[in-house]
Structure 1
Amino acid sequence: MRAATGLWRWRHNPLRRTTDLVEAWVALTAALLLCLAVPLAGWAVGTSANESLQRSVRAQHEERVPTVARVVRSAETGEAGATGQRPADTAGERRLRPAVVAAWTAPDGTRRTGTVTTTREQADPGDHFPLWTDRTGRAVTPPMHPETARAHALIAGLTVALLAGFLVESARRVAVHRLLRRRYDRLDRAWAEVGPDWGRTGAGS
């Protein structure tokens, strides 16, 4: 980061131009934003995201109920097409999370049967595995873990901080570029006025 490279222009000397002082202010402002505002923005977004995600986690734990399901049979039989083939991504996913027909007990005590996926590499009839359901007994995904929610919030805060820092540094570079262009334009105008008489006797050079 080179946001503070123009701070030396604060020094008082007869060669200091107005654009030098402006560049120093730009560098100081960018340094303060990078040191204070950017971390504060990341912290605020991360904190807000964490609070929102934690509320969602608590709501999911209230709405979803853990139970134990029993494998009835594999769900692969009859699910393939006429050729018995599936897309590669679907086949790969089912190797990691095999689909089975399972039976479980709903929160109201009724018996339910349906096709669900398991986290087991191999599920044979009679095997038991953990399952989450909603209050009506329908199989749902597990609720988010609080640590997972915090990790997502941390990523969100870091992302915002990085984007804010990038915007600050980009704005500084644009401002410095415009100041340089202004200096060159002034030098070109000054040379256009003095250049034709440069080195002539009596021209004051």
Structure 2
Amino acid sequence: MTTRRPFVLGLTGSIGMGKSTVAAMFAEAGVPVFDADAEVRRLQGPGGVLLPKIEAAFPGTTGAAGVDRQLLGAAVFGDDAALARLEGIVHPAVRASRAAFLEAHGADPLVVFDIPLLFETGGVTDVDAVAVVSAPADVQRARVLARPGMTPEKLAAILARQMPDADKRARADHLIDTGTSHEETRAAVRALVEKLTGPLASPPLAGA
């Protein structure tokens, strides 16, 4: 007998490209979405399971309210070794949460893994296809610099740690343009959902 599991679509895109907006559009279309950033916030929030490990590695960066994101950010900013230590704590926990999410939605034809650093962290091996959210560079820059506390220097540092948009686009199975109107982007998302939830779209798993 052959069973099926959901088709797993990895959703990614560089900062300011509109990925969160697109993820919300998938959710509106009835597709379960695993939000990696939201899961990290939960794991690092009040009572989060990662707090003891983070506190041990970066003393003084956690408290009753969870991780102090500003202090933790300052502890790892510009320090590759410190960032690697933090990622070594966070990434395995997020992968475990993602596996549980997939199991919980085993009956759905399609699920989305919303992972900002999908390519950079090797998460692409865990998905069946990748959708890259993109917009023109000037639109991206304007969006990011409009955020509170953002500076051109911070943006440059963030972009230096992300795969260039052109490379992501080249590796994408599907492109979602957010440089257009919300209506056009939403229509593109719905069309992709319909394409990926067809009768032959979900990858089979052989079983007895």
TM-score interval (norm. to shorter): under 0.3
Q: TM-score, normalised by structure 1?
A: 0.22
Q: TM-score, normalised by structure 2?
A: 0.22
Which structure has the larger Rg over C-alpha atoms?
A: 1
